[in-house]
Structure 1
Amino acid sequence: MIEHRKYTVLFLCTHNSARSILAEGALNALASDRFVAYSAGSHPGSAPNPYALELLRSQHIATEGLRSKSWDEFAQDGAPHIDFIFTVCDDAAGEVCPIWPGHPAKAHWGVPDPSRVEGSDEAKRHAFLEAYIQLRKRIELFINLPFEKLDRLAVQQEMQNIGTTLREQGE
């Protein structure tokens, strides 16, 4: 998998308002020298969840340009070539995805939906923080994979392992 360009990553979730937005922001903040992250949804909402944007800002992660968008944008001519796709919600994992040019490596990293939490603002903020922590741990493992030493199949397996191993450990 040795290449001299940045890898592109697409995080998918149904509404592209919380988990996928958190993941896009986190990856771009952690490894923008080697990766370009995007996010999208099968049925995008009108805007990112305000709690997601608030959390990213609290982590000193830029939120300019983050928006809820359809995954169709990334299956069209002229769209960025996508190397890796992660579904971060169970709904998107079960949907029929578009055919992605270049056949990117895919993995499912299910994370509970923080936007479904009811109660106080504090409870909602806590749920978003928990989702962010889970995603960040996975992203940190992913960006530290030895891509130059792994073939495509091995990378795909490692991507899946990151999602299942941490889930089994209860993150």
Structure 2
Amino acid sequence: MSAPTHHRDNLSIDQALALRTAAVRLSDTFRDMFGTETIERFLHSSYDEFAGRAVVLNYLPLLAERFARQRLKALARVEGKAHDGIPVVLFLCTHNAGRSQMAMGFFTHYAGDRAVAWSGGSEPGSRVNPAAVAAMAERGIDISGEYPKPWTDEIVRAADAVITMGCGDACPVFPGRRYEEWVLDDPAGMDVAAVRPVRDEIERRVRVLLDELGVPAA
């Protein structure tokens, strides 16, 4: 994750209240695993990450809370504080706006609660590609509520498999993970018709991955 830029110095009253409320909710979930300082540090650094490129400022506290929750879940796995035995797959691409979002959408759709999918980007965009959203909607999968985000060390370390799609040397490498590169066209700038073949190839590969992981597809 990039270095904090302390965008919280210019918080509105509503945003400050929303962040305090988010910290309480996160504490309710993770207080048995982490101290208040750790929880708030993850929340605030997540906020700073999104604040530098946010399009709609009103959603920043919610995005920060969602990302901090994911990061804290990952840290709990890394530190052995969570033992659900469910495999975690991390899908990575450059902007986390197209390929990795579609892959996560298919994986979650087919795996249900039998596995977990996360996604991230080396240079996260400002929103998910609308053509990718439309292409996935054609398959009955809604990714419109997703958002581009970076990866962090704890998220990569918590993953059992890391699937990369075009992030090149920027993709993280940690020992003991399963790594696989999927060579796929970048849907950036494509219309829905051009995205469909990419979408279909991602679906095929996700189903193969689920089979290899021993996760029955729904």
| CA RMSD, Structure 1 to Structure 2 (Å) | 2.4
Offset at residue 114 of structure 1 (A): 1.9
Moved more, 57-66 or 102-111: 57-66
Local SS of the residue matching 1:10: strand
Greater RCO, 1 or 2 (C-alpha within 8 Å, sep 6+): 1
- Are the equivalent residues in 1 in contact too, given 2:156–2:162 (CA < 8 A)? no
Offset at residue 125 of structure 1 (A): 0.8
Q: Give 2:169's aligned amino acid.
A: E
Q: What's the counterpart of residue 85 of structure 1? A: 162
Offset at residue 80 of structure 1 (A): 7.7
The gaps in structure 1 that reach 5 residues or longer are: 118-123, 149-171
Q: Taking structure 1 as reference, are residues 65 and 147 closer, same or farther at Cα in structure 2, changes over 3 Å only?
A: same
Local SS of the residue matching 1:33: helix
Q: What's the counterpart of residue 105 of structure 1? A: 178
Local SS of the residue matching 1:37: strand
The gaps in structure 2 that reach 5 residues or longer are: 1-82
Residues 120-169 of structure 1: per-residue CA shift (max 9 Å, x gap)? xxxx1122111111111111111112649xxxxxxxxxxxxxxxxxxxxx
Cα distance between partner residues in 1 of 2:159 and 2:129: 25
Q: Give 2:162's aligned amino acid.
A: I
Cα distance between partner residues in 1 of 2:209 and 2:156: 23
Cα distance between partner residues in 1 of 2:203 and 2:170: 26
Q: Which has the larger radius of gyration?
A: 2
Cα distance between partner residues in 2 of 1:87 and 1:49: 18
Q: How many residues align?
A: 133
The structure carrying a bigger helix percent of its residues is 2
Cα distance between partner residues in 2 of 1:115 and 1:109: 16
Q: Give 1:111's aligned amino acid.
A: L
Give the 5 Å matches for 1:1-171. 5-63=85-143, 65-72=145-152, 75-76=153-154, 81-89=158-166, 92=167, 94-100=168-174, 103-117=176-190, 124-145=191-212, 147=214
